[in-house]
Homo-oligomer: A and B are copies of this chain.
Amino acid sequence: MRMQKAQPKIKDVAHAAGVSTATVSRALTQPERLSEATREKVFEAIQATGYRVNRAARNLRTRRAGAILVLVPNLGNPFFSHILSSINEVLAANGYSVLVFDSQQHGASEQVVSDCLLNGSVDGLITLDGRVSDVTRQTLKNANMMRQVVFCCEWSDHLPVPSIRSDNALGTQMAVDHLVALGHRAIAHVTGPAENILGRVRKDAFSACCAAHGLDILPDWIIPGDFSLAAGVAAADRILAMGTRPTAVFCASDAMALSFISRCQQRGVSVPHDISVVGFDDIDLAAFSQPALTTIRQDRPGLGRLAAEELLAHLHGDQKSDGPHVIYAPISLIERSTTSAPAALRAEPGRVAKPAI
């Protein structure tokens, strides 16, 4: 009774259908090569026995894993969930399983990645983490496995593989242009972590855009953050303590923007009346905060989908586009209610319509 019925094997099916194992296997993998009669016999036998292909055996023989590794820096960060979701959707639809690993969690994370690729437990890697150790890079190069890796969101310039990303510089420019168009000339920036490629790119783009607009940005107005909620609060405290306070703030993440705003409100500073705020990402909550957050939307589902599709194309050999090419997912400014003309301009309505360039 408590005996566990052994899983039926291909031999059992073959026997039940009165054919050879080869025929059963072919019914599953190349049904068009069998006569209709046999094919049906086999499928009936499969039904009857409840047969399932043993994955390990198939993988061993075919030297494929049918799985993709997704490397996430901090799985606990909800920003990644939509990306993971769309990656999953595309891969699952193509018969691949999705393995996830948190690249910050284990000292052994570098080990894990190259291990998985080298020992055949996955066919490819999508990494949302732009930091790639030298060891990993070298290992991938040696094993000639570069074409089975793609970056998503983040990237590293040292690893020549395809990269799916938002145009962060463009997004930053949209944010700055928007604020400048409203009349702001004193704009602060709360950055991402210095070691993060996105943080660096957005910060550099911010400086460049401000320079292009001829804005005079005080060094103090570049406030180091780390994308986190806590960083937004800290940034608000710093700005509210400043002698010459900027009239607008561009935050490198929505999380920082939202907590920045909360802290301002808590300290009696009104957004956007007293200070305008622009975020980056367009997380779900951005549309539902009060006031609703003006931000730069990253197409998270699109990023995931494109990355998955790109990887699949490479795995299936469409090397039409081998190497380190970049694909940009669409990005856009979502104007909501945390930006307005600066107070000084509102006092001189003449300048509001056509703000000084």
Contact = CB atoms under 8 A, between A and B. Distances in A.
A233 interface: yes
A99 interface: yes
A97 interface: yes
B52 A56 contact: no
A78 B84 CA distance: 11
A273 to B, nearest CB: 14
Given A59-B56, A92-B101, A76 B67 contact: no
A98 B144 CA distance: 26
A92 to B, nearest CB: 6
B81 A78 contact: yes
A105 B88 contact: yes
- Say which size band chain A's interface belongs to: 35 or more
A220 B284 CA distance: 28
B93 A106 contact: yes
A315 interface: no
Given A56-B60, A59-B56, A7 B265 contact: no
A-B residue pairs, 6 tightest by C-beta: A78-B78, A262-B290, A56-B59, A75-B85, A56-B60, A76-B85
21 contacts: A2-B144, A7-B120, A50-B142, A54-B60, A54-B119, A66-B121, A67-B99, A74-B85, A75-B81, A76-B82, A76-B85, A78-B79, A88-B100, A92-B101, A98-B99, A100-B100, A258-B288, A259-B285, A261-B290, A262-B289, A262-B292
